[in-house]
A and B are shown apart, each in its own frame.
Chain A
Amino acid sequence: MSKIKSLEDLMKIKEKAVKDLQLRDTNTRGKITVAMGTCGIAAGAKDTLKAIVDALNDFNITDISVVQSGCMGLCEVEPTVEVRLLDCEPIVYGHVTPENARRIVKLHIVENQIVSDLLVRKGEI
């Protein structure tokens, strides 16, 4: 670690560290849950998860958290992803390949449209 010589040096460390702490912020706009049961992982949920995180980074979205969960019980449509935005009904999508994951982030998170061809369920169970 080189010594901090200026305000700019300090800002750089803050920017890097602040991302870590954002995960501790409950005042987020919502969260995306990726089902990571055995079935989900076998169907490629790990790649889906990575694609979602990358897509959020690409769009510079910081107020959405990504959470993993177990199997939702919809093994035949895995990988499944649930999008839960503040004051909106939760939406579950199925067959979320990495490519579909990017579409969900672009359409649902950025443009606030439901991706109807992937829709599995709307509303609470």
Chain B
Amino acid sequence: MALTANTILICAGGACISSGEESVKQALEREISKYALQDVVRIVETGCMGACSLGPLMVIYPEGVFYQKLTPKAAQEIVEEHLLKGRVVEEYLYKGPTGEIVPQVAEKLPFFSRQVRIVTRNVGFIDPKNIEEYIARDGYFALAKVLREMTSEEVIEEVKKSGLRGRGGAGFPTGLKWELTRKGTSQKKFVVCNADEGDPGAFMDRSVLEGDPHTVLEAMIIAGYAIGANQGYIYVRAEYPLAIERLNTAISQAREYGFLGSNIMGTEFSFDIEIRIGAGAFVCGEETALIASIEGKRGQPRVKPPYPAERGVWDCSTLINNVETFANIPPIILKGADWFKSIGTENSPGTKVFALAGKIVNTGLVEVPMGITLKELLYEIGGGSSTGKPIKAVQTGGPSGGCIPAQYFDTPVDYDSLQKLGAIMGSGGMIVMDEDDCMVDVAKFFLEFTVDESCGKCTPCREGTRQMLRILEKITSGEGTEEDLYELKALGETIKDTALCGLGQTAPNPVLSTLEYYRDEYEMHVKEKRCPALKCKDLTRYVIDESKCVGCTACARVCPVNAISGEVRKAHVIDNEKCVRCGSCIEVCRFNAINKVSP
């Protein structure tokens, strides 16, 4: 045993870095050297631990104490109290909704204990910049097993048997994809990792790349061996600089240790990986557009078939899998297909990582077995609504997905049942909404995104989504008619049937699913010109309650357009013609005298 008394795992995922991890780490280092503890305390920067709403956060071992919402001052206190004197600093422990502190050990918090971690098994636990920590957690042992004991057919057979389905969203059986690519006729073949994670709110791929880059490399090498490829590409978006940096470090370490390059682990097999950086177009997550982009062409999709398994990068057979799919491969090889099938449901084995966002207590990343109900996911792991108002719906699958209303929360989460509800698993983003969210506004938000990101190659997507957005804008500004609702549905269904690629084919989903489940909300906008959630600006008015207003003038002073008038100590009035509905007056009013109303 090394003479280390404490190991501090500090989360260096993107969210924690944004909330000040760097300055906390510097404070820790400064205090640790001040008390000459640098030989006995080790600081390890890990990948994302998942509890992003609590960041910056860290776990101190061997006790396993979980500290959250840290500041440089907190770091100083923790060094002085915890590391020097062995006393837990209660102020920075995780506290439940009622302020209770137990348990203080990270593994026992419900947020962590209900998770089953396969894809994120190492994320938040190892130092992603140190290949040996990955090896200590059985890293590259799956590769060793494949190269020493298995033929490429056996590898494909094992992946097929596991029932693993593509985690990028569509859920295509991974083993079948491998087999088809292996049977491809081209002389040269390629393995591509799709790390162009573009759905707003989804960041599980980034978390894996940042927290455990070697698992993706190992899986790609195994895939190369299985399909007969010697070259791999990781297509990662430029907006993920930290992931790119850690991937580069991991690739050079893997080359140094002989896992990449020629004659891997003393065998005849050679494989290498290069990074291709995407310029931030959402459509490049579509596989044929991604291939075009790797080749240096403009990122636009083409008609399928031929599928990439037949004609991919430079017209060669190409295997494209998503980051999360690849991260499942090493455990499947090591523990076997039967073990993998024992987790999750029959048609969707294994786990899925979800990014929880919106009106929920524990926002962040969670990995759960397939088949868990939405209720368990949102209430037991997610901690329920963060606003105190009941959860109305959850939006899954980002701009390609749909909204699932609360009455369906007993539905098990897997590819097929979500599809039945008109939503999709997608990449795993989940946005939680309460009664203050207007469903028309939500649909408009996602459609604005797809209109921006449409590549413009096919007419249904380029023109159709724009027309749908125009109708939604009409509805939210109070000029919609009942005919618009029919037209919206007809347009959406036509685009679904006729668009060239997955982007266009799924773009109407947010509109169609809200139209199905929340038709009453659409109708209120159209018939009564009313927005029940008080979100649509043109349909809401700000009114001052005369009986509550004391005439303090605070609202009038803060109003940016001088829409509020009135004498001191007398009730004020808002001119709704001038008012821009910015909400500043509600924020400053100390008497709750200003209300939003929708006629």
Contacts from A to B (Cβ < 8 Å): 1, 3-7, 10, 13-14, 16-26, 28, 31, 33, 49-50, 53, 56-57, 62, 65-71
A33 touches B62 (CB 8 A): no
A17 touches B132 (CB 8 A): yes
Instruction: Give me 21 A-to-B residue pairs in the complex whose CB atoms sit less than 8 angstroms apart, sorted by A's number.
Output: A1-B257, A4-B257, A10-B135, A14-B135, A17-B136, A20-B2, A20-B4, A21-B136, A23-B4, A23-B6, A23-B61, A24-B125, A26-B63, A49-B3, A53-B1, A56-B1, A65-B62, A66-B3, A67-B5, A69-B84, A71-B85
A3 touches B258 (CB 8 A): yes
**Told that A24-B61, A70-B85 touch, could you supply 18 new A-B pairs with CB distance under 8 A?**
A4-B265, A5-B258, A10-B135, A10-B141, A10-B265, A13-B132, A13-B135, A16-B132, A20-B2, A21-B136, A23-B4, A24-B7, A26-B63, A26-B64, A53-B3, A62-B1, A67-B62, A68-B5
Q: With contacts A5-B265, A68-B86 known, is A26 near B105, CB below 8 A?
A: yes
Q: For residue B259, which residue of chain A has the nearest CB?
A: A4
Q: What's the minimum C-beta distance from B227 to chain A, rounded to whole angstroms?
A: 23
Chain A residues with CB below 8 A from B7, complex form: 20, 23-24
B62 touches A7 (CB 8 A): no
Q: How far is the CA of A35 from the CA of B212 in the complex (A)?
A: 37
Contacts from B to A (Cβ < 8 Å): 1-7, 9, 40, 42, 61-64, 83-87, 105, 107, 125-126, 132-133, 135-138, 140-141, 144, 148, 256-259, 265-266
Q: What's the minimum C-beta distance from B549 to chain A, rounded to whole angstroms?
A: 57
Q: What's the minimum C-beta distance from B2 to chain A, rounded to whole angstroms?
A: 6
Q: How far is the CA of A31 from the CA of B60 in the complex (A)?
A: 14
B86 touches A69 (CB 8 A): yes
Q: For residue B3, which residue of chain A has the nearest CB?
A: A53
Closest 8 CB pairs of A and B: A3-B258, A69-B86, A70-B85, A17-B136, A26-B64, A65-B62, A5-B266, A17-B132
A24 touches B9 (CB 8 A): yes
Chain A residues with CB below 8 A from B126, complex form: 21
Chain A residues with CB below 8 A from B5, complex form: 66-68
Q: How far is the CA of A21 from the CA of B259 in the complex (A)?
A: 22
Q: How far is the CA of A28 from the CA of B1 in the complex (A)?
A: 13
B144 touches A14 (CB 8 A): no
Residue in A5, A24, A50 whose beta carbon sits within 8 Å of that of B3 in the complex:
A50
Chain A residues with CB below 8 A from B62, complex form: 23-26, 28, 31, 65, 67
Q: For residue A16, which residue of chain B has the nearest CB?
A: B132
Q: How far is the CA of A13 from the CA of B63 in the complex (A)?
A: 26
Q: How far is the CA of A33 from the CA of B6 in the complex (A)?
A: 12
Q: With contacts A7-B144, A23-B61 known, is A66 near B258, CB below 8 A?
A: no
Q: With contacts A14-B136, A28-B62, A69-B86 known, is A22 near B6, CB below 8 A?
A: no
Q: What's the minimum C-beta distance from B595 to chain A, rounded to whole angstroms?
A: 51
Q: How far is the CA of A4 from the CA of B265 in the complex (A)?
A: 6
Residue in B3, B6, B86, B144 whose beta carbon sits within 8 Å of that of A10 in the complex:
B144
Chain B residues with CB below 8 A from A13, complex form: 132, 135-136
Q: What's the minimum C-beta distance from B181 to chain A, rounded to whole angstroms?
A: 27
Q: With contacts A5-B265, A10-B140, A16-B132 known, is A69 near B85, CB below 8 A?
A: yes
Most buried by A among B42, B85, B133: B85
Chain A residues with CB below 8 A from B61, complex form: 23-26
Q: What's the minimum C-beta distance from A121 to chain B, rounded to whole angstroms?
A: 16
Chain A residues with CB below 8 A from B63, complex form: 26, 67
Chain A residues with CB below 8 A from B4, complex form: 20, 23
Q: What's the minimum C-beta distance from A47 to chain B, rounded to whole angstroms?
A: 12
Residue in A10, A24, A68, A71 whose beta carbon sits within 8 Å of that of B40 in the complex:
A68
Q: What's the minimum C-beta distance from A58 to chain B, rounded to whole angstroms?
A: 11
Residue in B1, B42, B148 whose beta carbon sits within 8 Å of that of A66 in the complex:
B1
A3 touches B257 (CB 8 A): yes
Chain B residues with CB below 8 A from A28, complex form: 62
A19 touches B86 (CB 8 A): no
Q: What's the minimum C-beta distance from B27 to chain A, rounded to whole angstroms?
A: 20
Q: What's the minimum C-beta distance from B403 to chain A, rounded to whole angstroms?
A: 40
Q: What's the minimum C-beta distance from A105 to chain B, rounded to whole angstroms?
A: 12
Q: What's the minimum C-beta distance from B150 to chain A, rounded to whole angstroms?
A: 13
Residue in B87, B132, B148 whose beta carbon sits within 8 Å of that of A7 in the complex:
B148
Q: What's the minimum C-beta distance from B269 to chain A, rounded to whole angstroms?
A: 13
Chain A residues with CB below 8 A from B266, complex form: 5-6
Q: How far is the CA of A70 from the CA of B86 in the complex (A)?
A: 6
Q: How far is the CA of A76 from the CA of B134 in the complex (A)?
A: 46
A18 touches B1 (CB 8 A): no
Q: For residue B257, which residue of chain A has the nearest CB?
A: A4
B3 touches A67 (CB 8 A): no
A26 touches B107 (CB 8 A): yes
Q: What's the minimum C-beta distance from A112 to chain B, rounded to whole angstroms?
A: 20
A21 touches B85 (CB 8 A): no
A67 touches B86 (CB 8 A): yes
B258 touches A4 (CB 8 A): yes
Q: What's the minimum C-beta distance from B39 to chain A, rounded to whole angstroms?
A: 11
Q: How far is the CA of A82 from the CA of B325 in the complex (A)?
A: 47
A21 touches B133 (CB 8 A): yes
A1 touches B84 (CB 8 A): no
Q: What's the minimum C-beta distance from A38 to chain B, rounded to whole angstroms?
A: 11
Q: How far is the CA of A20 from the CA of B7 in the complex (A)?
A: 9
Q: What's the minimum C-beta distance from B40 to chain A, rounded to whole angstroms?
A: 6
Q: What's the minimum C-beta distance from B422 to chain A, rounded to whole angstroms?
A: 44
A21 touches B1 (CB 8 A): no
Q: For residue B8, which residue of chain A has the nearest CB?
A: A24
Q: What's the minimum C-beta distance from A68 to chain B, rounded to whole angstroms?
A: 4
Q: For residue A61, which residue of chain B has the nearest CB?
A: B1
Q: For residue B80, which residue of chain A has the nearest CB?
A: A70
Q: How far is the CA of A23 from the CA of B256 in the complex (A)?
A: 27
Q: For residue A23, which residue of chain B has the nearest CB?
A: B7
Q: For residue B136, which residue of chain A has the nearest CB?
A: A17
Q: For residue B65, which residue of chain A has the nearest CB?
A: A26
Q: With contacts A5-B258, A49-B3 known, is A20 near B133, CB below 8 A?
A: yes
Q: How far is the CA of A62 from the CA of B1 in the complex (A)?
A: 7
Chain A residues with CB below 8 A from B258, complex form: 3-5
Chain A residues with CB below 8 A from B259, complex form: 4
Q: How far is the CA of A65 from the CA of B5 in the complex (A)?
A: 8
B64 touches A6 (CB 8 A): no
Q: For residue A49, which residue of chain B has the nearest CB?
A: B3
Q: How far is the CA of A33 from the CA of B86 in the complex (A)?
A: 9
Q: What's the minimum C-beta distance from B596 to chain A, rounded to whole angstroms?
A: 49
Chain A residues with CB below 8 A from B85, complex form: 69-71
